[in-house]
A and B are shown apart, each in its own frame.
Chain A
Amino acid sequence: MLRQLIVGLVIALSPLSALADEPPYPEDMALLRIVDPHGQVLAILTLSDLEGLPKREIAGSIPDTADPEARWSGVSMKVLLESRAIVLPDRMRAVGLDDYSDVIPRSDLEQYDPVVAYRRNGRYLSVDGYGPLVVMYPYSEYPELHERTYYSRTVWQLSELQLQ
């Protein structure tokens, strides 16, 4: 109890906590582009755009890293597409800043409702910390997600969604 209090006080008084709610990148920076199958850009979203949408919180961790399980906040992919009046595509390619990409089928959106997360344990994600956006699946809710298939679809440093 006492320890928790001390930890809480230290966090509250540290200058980091003051910065905690400021993203480690320009707020008006384009974070995510949505592109149709012909390469035409359908939408470009900034952090404020994403934060303007209904928030969804899930628990999970980034595969293949030493990250412990964390609480991820972001926008449901389904909600994200619907907010831009985009019909759910059969497949869509999630592309990272490092040009990694994997295809996410519509069934995943319907069944697991993955999230485009911008906060981890309440903090924004830096670019050198797998951010600014991460495609996160609700691993703790669905244990069957612990498969290579979904690990591969958990794209970090998400920068683009290509509808197919």
Chain B
Amino acid sequence: MTEQETNEGGTSRRWPIILLIALATAMIVSALAGLKLISDKGDDYASPGLHTEVWQGYQLRSEIQRLLATASAVEEGQEGATALMMRLGVMRNTLDPFRHTRVFDYLPVPRPEARATIERLDSLSANWMQKLDWRDDAGARRVASDMLTVLPRQLRPAHDLIVISNIAVAAQLDSERQSLQLTFHWLTGTLILMACGCLILALRILSSQRRSRRLARELQMLNNSLERRVQSRTVLLHEREALLRTILDSTPSDVTLLSADQRRVFYVSDNLLAQTGTRRAEDFHLETLFENQDDYRLITERLKRGETLHQVEARLCPTSPYWALLTARPLRIHAQSAWLIWCLDITHRKAMEHKLQQLAATDALTGLYNRRALLRAAVKQLRRDRRASLSVLLIDIDHFKQINDEYGHPVGDQALRALAQQLGGLIRDDALLGRIGGEEFAVVLPGRSCEAAGLVAERLRAAIADTPLRVNDAVTLSMTLSIGLSQRHEGDSLKSLMTRADRALYQAKAEGRNRCCQIAFEAPPELVAPAVDEA
């Protein structure tokens, strides 16, 4: 919907409201106007109306006649001034209402003679009243004769006054009737307007009510559908969560998902709970999982830095420790930082690895170091202390080929095993013993002087030469050893050390076997070693 359409919609919605407001205003205004009209009319009718002019006209005429009668009596001497003044006073008094009345304004045709009659009677009577005195009967007689000449002529105008008053009162009454009728018309109009207004308002209220009921029903329907959708979504979410849980529960790894501040645990495998001795997931603490707290610190620090850890080995479960491979990564869940940590039990693998390492380092026949492992061990010792004195003894069995030829290879092997055992018994624990070739052995002696090493070599040679070697129940052999000795010097590498020892061994062979030879570090090599055919 465009903006213009919206505006038009707004305007069309606003119109009925404006009309209703206008209607209500009109109703209020007309009600107020009606009230004002009624109030004004009410005031008009608060006191009884007048309309007594006809009666007063009649009274005036009658009083003139009585005054004339009294005047005759005064002239004849039967009455005095008091009586005349009384009657004159009463007559004058009947004029008074006419002096104030506005009834003649209602006459359809103006009749000025009415006012003239009143004014003439007023001035005449005032004049007479002035001339009279209560105690002056003679004066009264004079006035009485004056009255008798003047007043009879006023009887006709007085009669006319009655007639005019009658017409005027009738006109006034009719004018009041018309005014009242107009008022009733007004009120009728107002009431019709108000009735229409009430009808429109009532219809409007009814339609509003119907509309609000319909809206409420629609709202209820919307609400219901929304609720249904929420329910289905909730079910879906629950299903998804259950599925996720099932997946997590069935992975070979143990998993935990917890907030980075470690206050909330979203998920933790049963295994991990068991390993930390925790019953409920919310009581799980990552720290208690690690045997070594350094591992814990290292891992959490890296996670805090936002790093992802791949296959970090650590010892878990302090009560019965095992090797685990940890994979951990930070992520965001519910708008907060969280850590997802997978722990894979690698105890078996670790054991296999250990075994393989051992296999790789050991001579299968004798159980001693093989050449590589021995050299590595030697290097390790050298690395530990570069200045440490170190001696290498290369030992070769004299004429071993003859043993093989005479007794066969199995006996040769047994002989090698027996020799290895004997040599192992002859050297100290800190010495390294290995089989580095067919019938060639080596001993790495740490921390000995040149002389001491020579003594060790000599002791070994002597011990083997003097003691027949019991190979098995049937075979006992006498064998001799040729030993080449080299002592490590400053700047000596393991390679050069071995080379010297090798050369010394050749020397010993060359000099007739069953002996120990040593080649000094400084001495220039005298013999170039050819391939040893005895080896």
Evaluate contact between B48 and A128: CB separation under 8 angstroms: no
Whether, in the assembled complex, B47 has its beta carbon less than 8 Å from a beta carbon of chain A, the answer is yes
Evaluate contact between A128 and B52: CB separation under 8 angstroms: no
Evaluate contact between A126 and B63: CB separation under 8 angstroms: no
Known interface pairs A25-B134, A65-B97, A128-B125; 8 further A-B residue pairs with C-beta atoms within 8 A, sorted by A's residue number: A25-B85, A26-B82, A65-B96, A66-B100, A97-B90, A99-B62, A127-B88, A128-B96
Number of B interface residues, CB 8 Å?
A: 24
Q: State how many angstroms separate the Cβ of B103 from the closest Cβ of chain A.
A: 12
- A98 and B93 CA atoms in complex are apart in Å by 9
Q: A25-B134, A64-B50, A98-B90 are in contact. Are A127 and B85 (CB under 8 A)?
A: yes
Beta-carbon contacts under 8 Å, B82-115 to A: 82, 85-86, 88-94, 96-97, 100
- A156 and B86 CA atoms in complex are apart in Å by 14
The interface residues of chain B lying within 8 Å CB-to-CB of A26 are: 82, 134
Whether, in the assembled complex, B129 has its beta carbon less than 8 Å from a beta carbon of chain A, the answer is yes
Q: Which residue of A lies closest to B134 (CB)?
A: A26
Top 9 A-B pairs ranked by shortest CB distance?
A: A127-B89, A128-B92, A66-B100, A128-B89, A148-B48, A97-B90, A128-B93, A146-B47, A64-B52
What are 14 contact pairs spanning A and B, CB under 8 A? A65-B97, A66-B100, A98-B62, A98-B90, A98-B94, A127-B88, A127-B92, A128-B129, A129-B93, A130-B96, A146-B47, A148-B48, A157-B90, A157-B93
The interface residues of chain B lying within 8 Å CB-to-CB of A148 are: 48
- A131 and B50 CA atoms in complex are apart in Å by 21
The interface residues of chain B lying within 8 Å CB-to-CB of A128 are: 88-93, 96, 125, 129
Beta-carbon contacts under 8 Å, B43-73 to A: 46-48, 50, 52, 59, 62-63
Residue ranges of B at the interface with A (Cβ–Cβ < 8 Å): 46-48, 50, 52, 59, 62-63, 82, 85-86, 88-94, 96-97, 100, 125, 129, 134
Most chain A CB within a 10 A radius of its CB, from B62, B85, B88: B85
- A100 and B63 CA atoms in complex are apart in Å by 11
- A129 and B92 CA atoms in complex are apart in Å by 8
Q: Which residue of A lies closest to B52 (CB)?
A: A64
The interface residues of chain B lying within 8 Å CB-to-CB of A100 are: 59
- A130 and B100 CA atoms in complex are apart in Å by 15
| A 44-73 to B, binary, CB cutoff 8 A, 1 in contact else 0 | 000000000000000000011110000000
Evaluate contact between A146 and B129: CB separation under 8 angstroms: no
Evaluate contact between A127 and B90: CB separation under 8 angstroms: yes
Partner of B59, one of A66, A98, A146: A98
Evaluate contact between A126 and B96: CB separation under 8 angstroms: no
Whether, in the assembled complex, A29 has its beta carbon less than 8 Å from a beta carbon of chain B, the answer is yes
Evaluate contact between B100 and A65: CB separation under 8 angstroms: yes
| A 21-39 to B, binary, CB cutoff 8 A, 1 in contact else 0 | 0000110010000000000
